[in-house]
Chain A
Amino acid sequence: MEAPLLEVKDVTKSYFENGKEFKVLDLIRFELAERDFVCVVGPSGCGKSTLLRIIVGLEPPTSGQVLFEGSPIRADNPQVAMVFQSFALFPWLTVTQNVELGLEAQGISPEDRHGRARKFIDAVGLTGFENAFPRELSGGMKQRVGLARALAIEPLLLCMDEPFSSLDPLTAQNLRDEILQLWANPDLPPKAVLMVTHSIEEAVYLADRVIVLSSRPGHMVAELEIDLPRPRNRKEPEFYGWIDEIYSLIV
């Protein structure tokens, strides 16, 4: 059998302070296959962001392993892209230059870079803002740049750390729908999405599968298949049913 896209195997993370051990994550274990849209939900301080940083290889786990296509993950893996809560745009680069960042690191020629950057800038609806600097954009537009930058390297896996938490509710909802559209388009990357959020409603709205974490130390409480048909309607009783179930699991 072929290895799954991503395997998180018994990941544990501890910090040491004055010889004392603080466990942040305890035995996290799950898998991600192609076409999966998975959300990790948990209260603040449960180590979700740390988990994501470990999964993309920015931090090593204390024990356990993260495998991507069967081999240990590396931070600069061009098949994995990251979207940040704070956008993490380079303030001194234009929209195009920001989107080209990963391509430039891969040594792709300027002409190809421009072409691909334009394609994804168009895809996130930022046509006409190619030469703007991040500070000239609104929060929602900034996160679109962050998204285009991640998509531009045509990753297999898209990781998002609370991508909509610093946006106003309306903008956030628009972006959620757009992410779903992009993901539903088979011609566009990514193959799978892993998203960390503290909003249960957001998780139920977006994900096929929700991984529920509880805090101190962060451990897995449940892994739920959300089998609601898309597009999902927030007013339906089933939708509320899922929210209530996850809520009761966390509390």
Chain B
Amino acid sequence: MRGLRGRLRILAGIVILVAIVVAILDPQAAFNAVQLPLFALFSTTRMVLAYLLSLVFAITFGATAATNKRAAVIMLPLLDVLQSVPILGFFPAALVFFVVTFQGSPVGIELAVTFLIFTSMAWNMAFGVYESLTTIPVDLEAAAASFGLRGMLRFRLLALPAAIPKLVYNSILSWSNGWFFLVASETFTAFGGTYTRPGLGSFITNAGIAGDATGIALGIGVLAAVVLALDTFVWRPLGVWSERFRMETTGHEVPRAPSPYERFRWLPRFPRLRRTFRTAIQPVVTKYHRASVRLDRTYSAHPQVLRDIRYVDLAMFVAILALVVVVGVLGLARLFLSRLPDAAAELPRAAASSFIRLGLAYGIALAWTIPMAAWIGRSPRGSRYITPVLEVAASLPATALLPIIVGFALIVTASLGPAAELSAILIALFSMQWYLLFNLIAGVRGIPEDLEEAARSFGLRGRAYWRRVLLPAMVPSLLTGSITAWGAGWNALIVSEYIPFLSPPPHVSGLGYLLDIATFRKPLPDNEMILLTILTMIVIVLAMNKLLWRPLYKRAAVKYRVEV
């Protein structure tokens, strides 16, 4: 072991020497190289902050909705809407709010960025907590009650552990979402100026503006490294650990969603480094444990205080909710009572062209992901080489790939018009395709062995095999993937239909474009148009969810479910 450490020390020395030489020869490159890790740190810090906020929110919201039936009546539909609405649509509004409140100071922009990432992380986590808490087996609840578990003790021993598997699972999804929005929000042009916060996202975007190919590659490379490192050292260990909290009675889980901590299996696992890390955080964990026991004591000693706190909590929630509802209703009423702005006439056409664009991207995604999933899912040898490539590509948010996609579109098509159209479709494709691919792979892998063997023994091959085994088995996961993919697609619209950092800015007609114009390209944000555009999106998304996906899903769940 000492040999390795010695060699590492020599290596570090060489790296430092090379770095000094490079710094003397090319100060600019050295500056970039020093900057990048720092930028990565800034971006990751933003993500961590937003994540901690989401975690607190998810646990309180989910626990309240699960335990308070009256509150749940309002909270669940609210969550349903928030979860299915294109979050990026709120970004302009949030930005205006924070930038105006803090008069353009960096604090306001940081808050806006953190808030945006929060909105992309929080909802599915809250749903996860709610679902876990409402599906705790009856007997376990009864055992907790009959052995006298109450308050903090019940939370620590029953509720929190029960929520952990879904919380970890959803956290991984939330981090993928978060990177997408982080990159989209670290730099933006508005109110006649460009606001930039130092970070990986802004680094990539700025490199894109400058046409600096090395910079783009470096930025994306570092981003990929950060994502992979977090997965290796945080999410996969957490995923393994969370298995301990899974209930033994495996319910019929439809759909067979892919487990996100299954990815990156090919990466080295660094057991020693991990153990060191675990020993390092052990004191903190112990301290937390002791503190929570002490809190239990204080907590259960004053039931009256507790009840008061709960009432204040509830009152605050009701007050805030009432405020939001009243303001919203008043705003809507004013909007529809007065004459609609002229620009509103463009809404139907914009909605249609956005929809067609997403449909096209969805079609392209289906065309390649179905055969690819069928191949990867059934050929372990082939997948060993292709899976790492796909997983790294999928771990990069589409927003980070924006400069590459736009550049590619500019090279392929000569004039700006079709280039803008092509890049918009490509960005939507990159946002949508991975959800389809990995869900479909999970669907194919989920085909029970004996079903496969039965098919083989009856000589099912070629088209018959596809029609009778493969495609039906894919249907549930295809639907799950489609719902998520379309959600991501609507978000992509907002970054893809108007690309402000090129001049002249290429754009295509669509809802994302309208939203962008209404928010940023006028001296003052056009509130009416912002609201109308977001409303149009919400209506379309909810209509698709309720009228298309959910009915299809219900039928598929009955017909195509494979009993395991």
Contacts and interface: CB of A to CB of B under 8 A. Distances in A.
Chains A and B form a bound pair: yes
B139 A133 contact: no
A80 B245 contact: no
Interface stretch (B62-70, B82-90, B143-151, B358-366): B143-151
A84 B157 contact: no
Interface in A113-172: 133-135, 149, 153
A54 to B, nearest CB: 12
A105 B248 contact: no
| Interface class of chain A by DSSP | loop
A203 to B, nearest CB: 22
Given A91-B244, A91-B247, A75 B139 contact: no
Contacts of A25: none
A47 to B, nearest CB: 16
Interface string A200-222: 00000000000000000000000
Do most interface residues of chain B lie in helix, strand or loop, or is the interface mixed?
Answer: helix
Interface size class of A (residues with CB under 8 A): 20 to 34
A90 interface: yes
Contact of A76 (B148, B164, B297): B148
B13 interface: no
Interface string A73-84: 001101011101
Contacts of B161: 90, 92
A106 to B, nearest CB: 7
Nearest to B296: A107
A105 B244 contact: no
A112 interface: no
Interface string B128-148: 000000000101101101111
Given A84-B139, A88-B137, A76 B150 contact: yes
B244 A102 contact: no
Contacts of B140: 88, 90
A250 interface: no
| Interface size range on B against A | 20 to 34
Contact of A102 (B139, B147, B246, B300): B147
A77 to B, nearest CB: 8
Contact of B148 (A91, A105, A133, A135): A105
A56 interface: yes
Contacts of A104: 153, 157
Contacts of B158: 90
B525 to A, nearest CB: 49
With a 10 A CB-CB cut-off, give which of A76, A102, A105 has the most chain B CB atoms.
A105
Interface string A216-238: 00000000000000000000000
Nearest to A83: B143
Nearest to B156: A104
Contacts of A106: 148
Given A76-B150, A105-B147, A105-B149, A88 B142 contact: yes
A153 B147 contact: yes
Contacts, number: 70
B157 A101 contact: yes
Contacts of B139: 84-88
Contacts of B246: 91
A53 interface: yes
A93 B157 contact: yes
Which residue among B143, B149, B153, B158 has the maximum number of chain A CB atoms within 10 Å of its CB?
Answer: B143
A105 B142 contact: no
Interface in B248-303: 248-249, 297, 300
Nearest to B139: A88
A249 interface: no
Interface string B237-249: 0000000111111
Contacts of A184: none
B142 A58 contact: yes
A102 B150 CA distance: 11
Contact of B146 (A58, A90, A93): A58
Contacts of A101: 143, 147, 149, 157
Contacts of B157: 90, 93, 101, 104
A106 B146 CA distance: 12
Contact of A81 (B137, B145, B146, B248): B146
Given A91-B246, A92-B161, A92-B245, A80 B147 contact: no
Nearest to A59: B142
A76 B137 contact: no
24 contacts: A53-B142, A58-B146, A80-B146, A81-B147, A82-B142, A82-B143, A82-B147, A85-B139, A86-B249, A88-B140, A88-B143, A90-B140, A90-B158, A92-B161, A101-B143, A101-B147, A101-B157, A102-B147, A102-B148, A104-B153, A105-B147, A105-B149, A107-B297, A134-B248
Query: Closest 5 CB pairs between A and B?
Result: A76-B148, A105-B148, A102-B147, A88-B139, A88-B143
Given A84-B142, A101-B147, A104-B157, 11 more contacts: A53-B142, A75-B145, A78-B148, A82-B147, A86-B139, A91-B245, A91-B246, A92-B245, A134-B248, A135-B248, A149-B147
